[in-house]
Structures are given as structure tokens and as C-alpha cells.
Amino acid sequence: MKQRPAFPAKLDTAVRARTGAQGATVAPSASMARVPAVPQPQGLGMDSTAVRMNMVQKLRGQGITDAAVLAAMGAIERHRFVDSGLVNQAYEDTSLPIGLGQTISKPGVVSRMAELMRNGASGKIGRVLEIGTGCGYQAAVLSLLATEVYSIERLRGLHDKARDNLRHLRLPNVHLLFGDGMEGYAKGAPYAAIIAAAGGEAVPQAWVEQLAVGGRLVAPVVTGTGKGSAQALLVLDKTPQGVRQTLLEPVHFVPLKSGVA
């Protein structure tokens, strides 16, 4: 039996995030670092705050510094987006199956991409397009960081699952779309940011076209050749002078596929 951290004594020291993300708190480093053991989520409706703050603390340790991103990661209950049998692993830095051969991204990757996407912005950024809704977790995180989130999924089963998962959160700025994200979503363009949760050989031209000048695209791209080849995170900035691309660390995402199913 694992011991619960002292509650609410430890959490009393939590600080309100300065960014204004709704209801989100970020624990200061010193107090959370001493929490002896992480309580395991027991199912929906549990008080998962402490275990989530522990995850946020680890994200800080991995170098995530954007207060708004940390607040959003602390606010969205990841355990509500995974199947009941996986709830115990919901706050580990691991991707987990969400059905139809797809996965929810690791918290470390979600926060890294969100931080890159925000690029040091002070408040919320404008409209964001997410390719690959999956279970809807990242869309929920993004909803606290952007004014509007358009999220496209090509698998009907996951599009429906995301809608179910997000219902209780009542996020009026999240727009779930069923379709082929390779074409982007022109009706919401131009986007302040585009973020892809699936990796393709190249960035579709539609994404670059639908990105606002001054906007940023963050996506995994295939860097090698052949089956199962390597991917890296790409940051593409659309500037008045043209497109600037930067290839960052290796990542591992499900493949970007065309068409719907």
C-alpha cells in the first residue's frame, strides 16, 4: 500500500499560476520534490490533484518552463482520457493505447510541443489547428493555451471517443472535426499555430498555407527512409520573409495517414 502525501498541507503551498489558465495550479518545486510516494489514481472522480502535481514537477525537471503549459498540464485530468484498466499509468510519462491502434502522447511530449507552439507568448495564443484528436487529451490541454482549438481526427471511432471524453469538461473553444487532417481545415485559417500528433514524410502544403504569417507549426516528421524509420520534431515558422524550419530531437509518433476510416 502506497502512502498518500500529506494533504492538504503540501498542496496549501501550491501557487496560483500567473497565466490565468482556469483553476490551474502549479506546485512550487521544493515542497513537491519531498512528496514521498505517488498515490495511484483509483478511477474517475478521485482526487488526482497530488499525483498530477507530481507529474507537473517531473515536467519541470525535464526542462518545461512555460508557466501556462505547466498550469494546463496540472489542470487537465489525463486519467479521464484513458481506459479504466490504464488509469494507474495515466500520470506516468508514457504513451498509452487509446484503441484502433493509436496512442495518447506522453505528457512530456504534449508539454514540449505546447511550449514550442506558444513560443514564449504571454497570454493565450489565437486559433490552433490540431491534427490527430485521438482521445482528445491534447485538445483539452490546448484549450487552456489558445483562444480556439480546431482538432481533426480521421478515425470515426476516436472522433466519437474524444467527444465523449471532452463532454464533461464543457470547453466551448474546442471544435472537434472528423476528416483528413492532411488537408488541414481551411475554414478556421489562418492559424496562430498548427500542431500534429502524427508523423508524415513531409509537411502537407495545406498546413503551411493555413498557417498565419508569424505562426508556428510543430509536427513530427520522418527523417530516415524505410519502414519504421526515425522521426524528429519539426518547428516551422512562417515569417514575412518565408518559411524557416528547425529540426529538433527524435520523437516517436503514430503515422500520419490520408483519408478517413
CB of 198 to ligand SAH, least distance (A): 4
Q: Does position 137 bind ligand SAH by CB under 6 A?
A: yes
| 158 lies in the binding site for ligand SAH (CB under 6 A) | yes
Shortest Å distance, C-beta 72 to ligand SAH: 13
The beta strands (E) that lie in the chain are given as 15-16, 25-26, 96-99, 102-104, 125-131, 146-153, 174-178, 191-196, 211-222, 231-239, 242-251
For ligand SAH, which residue of 55, 73, 87, 131 counts as binding (CB under 6 A)? Answer: 131
Q: Which of 105, 111, 143, 151 is catalytic?
A: 105
Q: Are 69 and 118 in contact (CB under 8 A)?
A: yes
For ligand SAH, the closer CB: 27 or 142:
142
The DSSP string of 213-236 is EEEEEEEEEE-S-STT--EEEEEE
Task: Name which position in 77, 115, 148, 180 contacts ligand SAH (CB under 6 A).
Answer: 180
Minimal CA–CA distance to 74: which of 28, 6, 120, 131?
A: 28
Give the integer Cα–Cα distance in Å for 224 and 254. Answer: 15
Closest approach of Cβ 211 to ligand SAH, in Å? 16
Query: Is 105 a residue of the active site?
Result: yes
Q: Provide, rounded to whole angstroms, the least separation between the CB of residue 73 and ligand SAH.
A: 12
* Pick from 136, 134, 140, 128: nearest CA to 171: 140
By CB under 6 A, residue 138 contacts ligand SAH? yes
Q: Known catalytic residues?
A: 105
Binding site residues, ligand SAH, CB under 6 A? 98, 102-105, 131-132, 134-135, 137-138, 152-155, 158, 180-182, 197-198, 254, 256-258
